[in-house]
Structure 1
C-alpha cells in the first residue's frame, strides 16, 4: 500500500448524488483575487525574469519586487473597475501584511462587500516548512489581524504557495476555519477529516490560474482569456448531466492587472456575466454555505 494523506477516500465522478446550486444552476463560478505583499530583499516571490528566488541573482531583487508591487499599486485597482463594471463579486485571498502595506486597497474590496479569506502573512514564506507550533502561530497571527480589521474571522484559507504540512488541515480546523482552497483534486467540494472535525476542501484552480498559465507556461493574454471561456463553456455543457460543479478563476493583480491582459480578461468575464441566468456567480464562502447545508451524503468525504 502506498502512503495516503488519510483526509478523504476516492469518489468517482460518475454515480455521484444529483443536487444543484441556488436557482437550479449546475455550475457555480467564483473569482479568487490574490492580494499579496512580499518582503524587500529576502524571501520568496514569483518572478518575471530569473532572480533571487530562483537563485539566478542576489537580493535585493528590484526588478521582480517592483513587478509584484505593481499589482497592489495599479493592477488591483484596474481589476476592481472591471469587477464593478460587470457586477461580479470575488473572494479576496489576503496576506495579512496587506493591512499595513496597502490598507486602502483592502478597504476598497471591503466596501464592495467581497469575501475576505486568509492567505497567510506574506507570500515571502511557506508554512509547510515550519514546526507545528510555529505554523499554528502563523495561522493565529494572520487570523487575528483579519478579525481585527474585518470585525469577523475569515472562514476560508489558501496557504501561501499552496504549501501544506501534514498538520495544516488539523491546524486550520483547530483555528476555526471551515474551508480550505489548498486542494485542487476535484470539481466538487470534498469533506476532509481532521483532528478537530470536518474541513471542506473547495476546488481552487491550478489550470485556470494566471500564475501557472502566464508565468509558468508563458501563455499569452488571449490564450488565458480563451482558457477561461472554454473551461466555462465546457463545464456549462457538462452541467446537463446533473452533477453540480465548481469553477474557480484564480487572479493575481500584478499579472492580470497589466493593461493588455486586463483587456482580454474583461472579454472573458463578460462572457460569463452574460450567462448569469444559467449559472450561480458567487464566492468561495457562498459555495461553502450551500454545500454545507446539503443533506448528508451529498458531497464526497462524509
Structure 2
C-alpha cells in the first residue's frame, strides 16, 4: 500500500507564515527550459502525426533559438532571477542558455531529461539510476546541485519523492494544490506552489490574448496580497520560451513583470529560496 504523500491542511487553520522583511507575496518565475526530440510527439501547436515534424518541432525550437533571449532581457530589466526548470538534455544541446543562467545566479531545478518523455513507468532501481544521471548532469553543467524537482508534464512515480530525497532534493513543484509551501510525509521534503493556471502554455493555447495575460497577472497578485491578509503566499508565474517569447506576447510579459516588481510588498525570489525559508519556520 502506498502511503499518502501529504496530509490535508485547511489554510485558515495554519500558523501565520511570514516572508523576509514582512513581504506579503513571494513571487518567482518558473522558466521551463526544455529539449524536445525530433520526431517524438510532444507539446504541439497542431496535433499531427508527422516524422519529421518541422511544423511542431520548429515552433518549440523557437524558444531555445530566440524566445529565451528575449525573456532573459526582460528578467534582467527587473532584477528577477529565474527558477529554471531544466531538462538535463539542454546541458548538451543548448549550453549557451545554461551559461547565461549561471552568470545571472538562477536557481536550477531538475525537470527530467527531455519533455518528449514523461517520467513514468520506472521500476525503482531504474528510476534511481535515471534520477542520479539527471541530477549529476545538471550539477556538472551549472555548478549547483538541484534542490527542486518538476517532472516533465508534472509526472512522477510513487517512488520519485523518496528517491529524490535520498539524492539530496528538498522540494517538489508537481503538486499544484496550494498557495503556500507545505511539508510532505517524507522527512525534509516540501511541496512549493507551482501553477497550471497562470501558465503561458495553457492560457495562450486556450486563445487568451496578451492583454488578458497582463490582467490575470495583476489580478493574481492583488488577490494573493489581500486574501486572508497577514499570512504569506506564493505566486508562481510559469513561462515557456516558445510561447511567451514570441514578440507580440513578450510585450505583455514585460508589462506584467513591471507591475509585480513595482509592488512594495513583493519578495522577488526563487523557488529554492522559498523552500529554504519555509524549512526554517
Q: Give the structure-2-normalised TM-score.
A: 0.96
User: 2: CA distance between counterparts of 1:126 and 1:187?
Assistant: 26
Root mean square deviation, CA, Å:
1.4
In 2, are the aligned partners of 1:26 and 1:239 still within 8 Å (CA)? Answer: no
Aligned counterpart for 2:236 among listed residues 248, 254, 259:
248
In 1, are the aligned partners of 2:107 and 2:272 still within 8 Å (CA)? Answer: yes
Aligned counterpart for 1:258 among listed residues 235, 246, 253:
246
User: 2: CA distance between counterparts of 1:280 and 1:213?
Assistant: 25
Show the 5 A alignment for 1:109-188.
109-188=101-180
Aligned residue in 1 for 2:46 = 49
Q: Using a 3 Å threshold, how does the CA distance of structure 1 residues 59 and 229 change in structure 2: closer, same or farther?
A: same
1:131, distance to aligned residue in structure 2 (A): 2.3
1:150, distance to aligned residue in structure 2 (A): 2.1
User: 1: CA distance between counterparts of 2:67 and 2:89?
Assistant: 18
User: 2: CA distance between counterparts of 1:256 and 1:184?
Assistant: 21
Aligned residue in 2 for 1:205 = 195
SS of aligned partner of 1:166: coil
In 1, are the aligned partners of 2:108 and 2:144 still within 8 Å (CA)? Answer: no
How many residues are treated as equivalent by the alignment? 281
In 1, are the aligned partners of 2:81 and 2:270 still within 8 Å (CA)? Answer: yes
Aligned residue in 2 for 1:285 = 272
Aligned residue in 2 for 1:231 = 220
Residue-by-residue CA offset, 1:139-192 (whole Å, 9 max, x unaligned): 111101111122231111110110111111111112111111111111111111
1:211, distance to aligned residue in structure 2 (A): 1.6
SS of aligned partner of 1:243: coil
Gaps of 5+ in 1: 52-56, 295-302
1:135, distance to aligned residue in structure 2 (A): 2.0
Aligned residue in 2 for 1:222 = 211
In 1, are the aligned partners of 2:86 and 2:111 still within 8 Å (CA)? Answer: yes
In 2, are the aligned partners of 1:127 and 1:138 still within 8 Å (CA)? Answer: no
User: 2: CA distance between counterparts of 1:167 and 1:198?
Assistant: 16
SS of aligned partner of 1:127: coil
1:198, distance to aligned residue in structure 2 (A): 3.0
Gaps of 5+ in 2: none
User: 1: CA distance between counterparts of 2:75 and 2:228?
Assistant: 25
SS of aligned partner of 1:117: strand
Note if 1:59 corresponds to 2:51: yes
Q: Give the structure-1-normalised TM-score.
A: 0.89
In 1, are the aligned partners of 2:2 and 2:158 still within 8 Å (CA)? Answer: no
Residue-by-residue CA offset, 1:185-213 (whole Å, 9 max, x unaligned): 1111111123xx33111000110111221
SS of aligned partner of 1:129: coil
1:83, distance to aligned residue in structure 2 (A): 0.6
